[in-house]
């Protein structure tokens, strides 16, 4: 289905609803992907009675690809519009990578409306680049280099990132699937989302989260170091950190079975 999030801009939403009493998990993907990255959750969770709702962030996948609107605030606003339109209540908000940062911003900007629990998966938190209060990210120079590569040769960059994304060799077909998802996005949208990740942070948002929070992170993450997850856990009162010993940044794919089990346990706890 498609939902208009502002005048002239619609986003694609997948809603796998196995029944009226299903617990809802609302999925927010990361750069440079779309809702299909959660295929290995969608294959399983509805069988256990979970409603899985996922949106393609504007500029990505099947959503509209406007020139503007890629700040954390605007992307959080899009989440709010979709939750309101679907009349979702007491959902688990699950944000992956940059989607994790956007979900954190949503929780502070909207005071957690519609959400009963938060799941952060390899989240870009507290920041993508190193800064006071968040020393474990990439350097500003490295981040600017990634943006320059997107301007020059996006397919090559996506191929390079795909090798860093997974901790183990999942085969050529999986890497090609990753790259294809990236190429289904607008290149300018990927640039603008990366620019937002470089400029913004969620350091001041973390202390405003008031719902039970699970932080799921691969210890071999080359893009968002595990130490960032530890720092995030320290900043969200009462949150719990779940580590995954055989995962890099692509946890929902690298260790799908283990992740699904721990996610379901967290949701039901």
Catalytic pick from 63, 97, 127, 162? 97
End-to-end CA distance of the chain: 31
Supply 130's token pair.
């190193």
Q: Is residue 249 among the annotated active site residues?
A: yes
Query: How much is the CA Rg of the chain, to the nearest whole Å?
Result: 17
Instruction: For residue 65, say if its preceding peptide bond is cis, omega within 30 degrees of 0.
Output: no
Residue with tokens 């008031």: 210
91-96 and 50-55 strand pairing: unpaired
Secondary structure element (H or E) that encloses residue 139, with its range? none
Mind spelling out the 3-state secondary structure of 37-98?
Answer: HHHHHHCCHHHHCEEEEEECCCCCCCCCCCCCCCCHHHHHHHHHHHHHHCCCCCEEEEEECH
SS3 of residue 247 by DSSP: coil
Distance between CA atoms of 231 and 261, rounded to whole angstroms?
24
Distance between CA atoms of 161 and 261, rounded to whole angstroms?
27
Q: Is residue 97 among the annotated active site residues?
A: yes
Distance between CA atoms of 210 and 222, rounded to whole angstroms?
29
CA angle in degrees (0–180, nearest 5) for 202-90-216:
45
Catalytic pick from 221, 228, 239, 247? 221
Residues annotated catalytic, as ranges: 97, 221, 249
């Amino acid at each position: 289905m498609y939902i208009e999030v502002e005048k002239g801009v619609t986003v694609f939403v997948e809603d796998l609803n196995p029944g009226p009493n299903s617990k809802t998990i609302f999925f927010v993907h990361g750069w440079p992907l779309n809702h299909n990255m959660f295929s290995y959750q969608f294959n399983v969770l509805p069988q256990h009675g979970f409603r899985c709702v996922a949106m393609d962030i504007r500029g990505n996948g099947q959503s509209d690809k406007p020139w503007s609107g890629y700040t954390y605030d605007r992307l959080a606003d899009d989440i709010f519009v979709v939750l309101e339109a679907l009349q979702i209540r007491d959902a688990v908000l699950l944000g992956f990578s940059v989607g994790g940062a956007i979900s954190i911003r949503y929780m502070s900007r909207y005071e957690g409306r519609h959400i009963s629990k938060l799941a952060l998966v390899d989240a870009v938190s507290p920041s993508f680049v190193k800064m006071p209060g968040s020393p474990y990210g990439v350097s500003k120079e490295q981040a600017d280099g990634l943006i320059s590569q997107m301007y020059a040769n996006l397919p090559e960059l996506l191929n390079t990132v795909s090798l860093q994304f997974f901790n183990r060799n999942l085969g050529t077909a999986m890497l090609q699937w990753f790259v294809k998802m990236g190429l289904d996005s607008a290149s300018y949208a990927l640039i603008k989302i990366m620019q937002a990740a470089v400029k913004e942070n969620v350091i001041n948002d973390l202390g405003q989260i008031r719902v039970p929070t699970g932080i799921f992170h691969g210890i071999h993450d080359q893009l968002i170091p595990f130490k960032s997850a530890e720092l995030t856990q320290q900043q969200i009162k009462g949150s719990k950190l779940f580590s995954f010993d055989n995962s890099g940044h692509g946890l929902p794919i690298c260790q799908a079975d283990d992740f699904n089990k721990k996610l379901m346990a967290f949701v039901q706890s």
